[in-house]
Amino acid sequence: MSGLELLVVSGIKVVVAFAFLVLTVLVLVWVERRVVAFMQNRYGPNRAGPGGILQTLADGLKLFFKESMTPRKAQFLLYIAAPVLAVVTALLVFVVIPIGAPVTIGDTTYTLQVTDLDVGVLYILAISSLGVYAVALAGWSSGSKYPLLGSVRSAAQMISYEAALGLALVPVIMFSRTTSLAGIVEAQSGTFGGLLPAWNIVLLPSFVIFLIAGFAETNRAPFDLVEAEQEIVGGYHTEYSGMRFAFFFLAEYINMFNMAALTATFFLGGWNGPLFGPTWLRYVLPVIWFLIKSWVVVFLFIWARGTLPRIRYDQLMAFGWKRLIPVSLVWIMLAMVAIGVRRFGLPWA
């Protein structure tokens, strides 16, 4: 591809990915409110648009026209940089997720993935670490005590569970022999004995650890200590209002969808699924499988929120460090011995 063509293709992919994420968030917030409402035996938002689907748009517009205050003691530059950083890091994680099979138009093949980095997994962990800065800076620069407490808590929580998140991915990489996300999806394309799809969910402990760490990493219930209203008012974004608050909200929901999409990619076979019908359908179906799998995981996130009470902070830290990390270390050792026996035979043979 020539330089200009490359620029145009990348530009289109980036804009489409951005539009996709924003639309997803609009639907996601509504779905979450409705599902949680039905779980709590009430209706939820059902006025704006058919079934209330435009509620998020209405809320966003309202926030747009609201005053954005800057508290007196805030460090303005950092204070304004935090929500921007939150949104940018959330957008950046999605860049490496493949949402469909490569499409061939004419004699050029386009991947349905913004970019296929061969260090994809490392990139994701790096960018989600950067996301911690948004939280830490927001709390610190607000010049108020509850945001500071919330952000310190939240930063400690996020980095603790990030260790477990990374450890859960090691067996997946051993299995697929690559850290590229497209490669991981391709490695799951076969079947076991022609019956079951060869998804990485066979690494069940990894899947469970990844899902739990994902809940904690995105600050979702039952690990939503960040916004424990009874203790610390509203967490790190207490002092944010108007559009600046909307950005934190947007970033949180993009992160939630990213985590669901990553779970689908690493463990549920990504866009793999049965293909049939004419050529165009063979290009559309992988995207649909990917979306179905992602939304199933999203539903798990919402279900957990509707079901489980928030845990205490000491329980949260103890669970991360004393349960998840030892279990994932032992599981990696078991998995590497099992994979070793399968690939190289018994060590004494």
What is the footprint of another protein within residues 136-175 (CB under 8 A)? 142-146, 148-149, 152-153, 155-156, 159-160, 162-163, 166-167, 169-171, 173-174
Q: In the complex with another protein, which residue's Cβ is closer, 18 or 38?
A: 18
Residue 92 C-beta: closest distance to another protein, Å: 6
Segment interacting with another protein, rule: CB under 8 A, options 6-14, 218-226, 262-270, 289-297: 6-14
Distance, in Å, from the CA atom of 257 to the CA atom of 247, rounded to the nearest integer, reads 15
Residue 314 C-beta: closest distance to another protein, Å: 4
- 144 in Cβ contact with 239 (< 8 Å): yes
Name the helix (H) or strand (E) containing 88: helix 76-94
Segment interacting with another protein, rule: CB under 8 A, options 26-34, 231-239, 259-267, 279-287: 231-239
333 binds another protein per the rule CB under 8 A? yes
Question: Which positions ≥6 away from 290 have C-beta within 8 Å?
Answer: 98, 99, 100, 261, 264, 270, 271
> One symbol per residue from 70 to 89: x for binding another protein (CB under 8 A), - otherwise; what is it?
xxxx------x--xx--xx-
Residue 339 C-beta: closest distance to another protein, Å: 7
Q: In the complex with another protein, which residue's Cβ is closer, 288 or 318?
A: 318
Distance, in Å, from the CA atom of 140 to the CA atom of 43, rounded to the nearest integer, reads 38
Site for another protein in 172-201 (CB under 8 A): 173-174, 177-179
Site for another protein in 91-110 (CB under 8 A): 91-92, 95
Residue whose pair of structure tokens reads 């994701």 in the numeric block: 124
Residue 315 C-beta: closest distance to another protein, Å: 8
DSSP 101-169: EEEEETTEEEEESS---TTHHHHHHHHHHHHHHHHHHHHHHT-SHHHHHHHHHHHHHHHHHHHHHHHHH
Angle (deg, nearest 10), helices 204-217 and 145-176: 160
- How many residues form the binding site for another protein (CB under 8 A)? 86
Q: In the complex with another protein, which residue's Cβ is closer, 42 or 343?
A: 343
Angle (deg, nearest 10), helices 325-344 and 204-217: 150
Q: In the complex with another protein, which residue's Cβ is closer, 276 or 348?
A: 348
Distance, in Å, from the CA atom of 237 to the CA atom of 240, rounded to the nearest integer, reads 5
Residue 2 C-beta: closest distance to another protein, Å: 11
313 binds another protein per the rule CB under 8 A? yes
216 binds another protein per the rule CB under 8 A? no
Which of 16, 204, 288, 336 binds another protein (CB under 8 A)? It is 336
Site for another protein in 247-266 (CB under 8 A): 247
Residue 100: C-alpha distances to residues 114, 119, 181, 269, 288 (Å) = 11, 19, 12, 11, 8
Which of 238, 263, 272, 294 binds another protein (CB under 8 A)? It is 238
Q: In the complex with another protein, which residue's Cβ is closer, 95 or 259?
A: 95
Question: Taking the chain, what is the end-to-end CA distance rounded to the nearest angstrom?
Answer: 50
Residue 137 C-beta: closest distance to another protein, Å: 14
Distance, in Å, from the CA atom of 254 to the CA atom of 261, rounded to the nearest integer, reads 10
Site for another protein in 48-67 (CB under 8 A): 64-67
With H, G, I as helix, E, B as strand and everything else as coil, classify residue 96.
Answer: coil
Which residues in the chain belong to E strands, given as ranges?
A: 100-105, 108-112, 191-192, 196-197
- 42 in Cβ contact with 34 (< 8 Å): no
121 binds another protein per the rule CB under 8 A? yes
